[in-house]
Structure 1
Amino acid sequence: MTRTHKRLTILDFLKRAIFLTLGAILMAVALEVFLVPNQVIDGGITGISIVLSHVTPVPLGLFIFFINVPFLILGYKQIGKTFAFSTLYAIGLMSATTALLHHVDPFTNEKILAVLFGGLILGLGIGLVIRFGGSLDGTEIVAILLSKKTRIPVGQIVMIINVFIFIIAGFVFGWDSAMYSIFTFYIAAKVMDIVVEGLDESKSVTIISSEYEEISEAIISRLGRSTTYIYAKGGYTKEDTQMIYCVVTRLEVAKLKAIVHEIDSKAFISIQHVSDVLGGNFEKNNIH
């Protein structure tokens, strides 16, 4: 048993290393082959590095690496050792790859194409690194540390930081480039979400109904999804009941609603987005 566990651990490590490497290289390609030659920037520390490399003779890769490292060290306790080393590896490789690609001719000089393909590749690279336990930008670390002191949500801090970066880009590269950069950032963010969360989105569903047994059986037999009962007590009626909890795919939501309303038209249904599903038995049961 011990040997098997060790073999699985090595495979997991290799898988992580491969995808961290791929993600870092993809981001470097997006920057040096599509975005930077067309004066389009990314958000976060990468965006700051692009601006600084434009106004100084220092290569982009050096700025990306050396600006990120202090925040990695600062946030070491908050993000954990594995995440810190994965991030350090990804950022180091990405910085080195940008240096290697710096003199490669851009694939296109059309800004629209650069934004579309650059944003797509950028989001794919960042998404792969995040999915496999790392990061390619220290902005999130800065935001986490500031959030603890200011009580402002992390997402809002990241947005505020990026607004300032795109304003600076407007003064340095021109306002057309700044607006192109905002679209690039948006495209990259959407692609990153798809890579991290997957195309087959899952939804968690909570159902409250007096007909919970019949509804649960119908979900199992007609949708092939397992259900879980959660004890509940009515706040107004004070009656004991059972809530039904299950996880379905986005495409199954409509059918689940139809099944529930067919049995109890007054049933309460709460549907929430699930970013990831791990463990348990999420595979569909065979329906005959």
Structure 2
Amino acid sequence: MHSFFRKNGLVLAGGIIQGFGMGVFLFPHSIPSGGAGGLAVLLNYWLDLDMGLALWLVNFSMLVAAIRFLGNSVALWTMVSITMTSFSVYFFQELLHLPVRTLWIDILFGSLFLGAGVGILLREGVSNGGVGVIALIIATYRNTLPGRPLFWINGLIFLLTASIINWQIIIQALLSQWISTKVVDLVCSLEFYGTYTLGMRKK
């Protein structure tokens, strides 16, 4: 029971932290936080969907892969994480409006919070949703840290997003991804062999 509440607390915290980074610092500049964020930006651009809702829809669509490759337990925890992240994005966008914005400072802080939140989730063996599911599958089967596959998968989606919306976005998004994935690997490596591999074992 203690381990359940501990994990639940960490998953909720990870979702809130990454939602804060995305909603307050990255999304106001239309900078995708990752593959799911890039697809959410496109849905917002094409269909004018709220970013929180668009992010939730993209993330939920990846749960089939989570169930198939990572097991029911990971899928359930992923549902919790993506719901909390999407709610946090909506909440913080509605609540916090920074009066003065500096693009590169926002990218830095947004990436640090994003990486910390995603790192907490992945360290617990929980996907942050979207292409994080794919990165977690690769990391599971290759017994490696998830930062590198996460970076390359997201980079391909950034290319698509930038080609449709604005090519300048790709520079900003790739910088954000480089920072955040470094933070992801830093957080995951703290207890990688002790917690990460156990958390990702199929149930």
Q: Name structure 1 gaps, 5 residues minimum.
A: 1-9, 147-153, 199-274, 280-288
Which position in structure 1 is the counterpart of 2:192?
276
- What does 1:180-191 align with in structure 2 at a 5 Å threshold? 180-191=172-183
Deviations 1:145-181 (A, max 9, x none): 89xxxxxxx9987555423322233234422222011
Q: Which of residues 15, 34, 50 in structure 2 aligns to 1:59? A: 50
Does structure 2 retain, via aligned residues, the 8 Å contact 1:87–1:134?
A: yes
Alpha-carbon deviation of 1:24?
0.3
2:12 is the counterpart of 1:21: yes
Amino acid of the structure 2 residue aligned with 1:162: N
Q: Which of residues 93, 101, 110 in structure 1 aligns to 2:102? A: 110
Amino acid of the structure 2 residue aligned with 1:54: Y
d(CA) in 2 for partners of 1:43, 1:195 = 18
Distance 1:51 1:157, change over 3 A: same
Question: TM-score, with normalisation over the residues of structure 2?
Answer: 0.80
**Identity rate, percent:** 24
Point out which structure has higher relative CO (alpha carbons under 8 A, 6+ apart): 2
Secondary structure in 2 aligned to 1:164? helix
Which position in structure 1 is the counterpart of 2:40?
49
d(CA) in 2 for partners of 1:188, 1:88 = 22
Deviations 1:214-245 (A, max 9, x none): xxxxxxxxxxxxxxxxxxxxxxxxxxxxxxxx
Higher strand share: 1
Amino acid of the structure 2 residue aligned with 1:276: F
Aligned residues: 187
Larger radius of gyration: 1
- What does 1:198-237 align with in structure 2 at a 5 Å threshold? 198=190
Distance 1:133 1:54, change over 3 A: same
Alpha-carbon deviation of 1:53?
1.5
Distance 1:15 1:56, change over 3 A: same
Amino acid of the structure 2 residue aligned with 1:118: G
Distance 1:182 1:121, change over 3 A: same
Alpha-carbon deviation of 1:17?
0.8
Question: TM-score, with normalisation over the residues of structure 1?
Answer: 0.58
Q: Name structure 2 gaps, 5 residues minimum.
A: 139-145, 196-203
Which position in structure 1 is the counterpart of 2:113?
121
Does structure 2 retain, via aligned residues, the 8 Å contact 1:20–1:129?
A: yes
Does structure 2 retain, via aligned residues, the 8 Å contact 1:83–1:133?
A: yes
d(CA) in 2 for partners of 1:145, 1:105 = 36
d(CA) in 1 for partners of 2:192, 2:188 = 9
Amino acid of the structure 1 residue aligned with 2:172: Y
2:83 is the counterpart of 1:167: no
* Aligned Cα root-mean-square deviation (Å): 2.7
Alpha-carbon deviation of 1:109?
1.6
d(CA) in 2 for partners of 1:139, 1:155 = 12
d(CA) in 1 for partners of 2:103, 2:63 = 33
Which position in structure 2 is the counterpart of 1:131?
123
Does structure 2 retain, via aligned residues, the 8 Å contact 1:60–1:99?
A: yes
Runs of 4+ in 1 over 4 A off after TM superposition: 142-146, 154-160
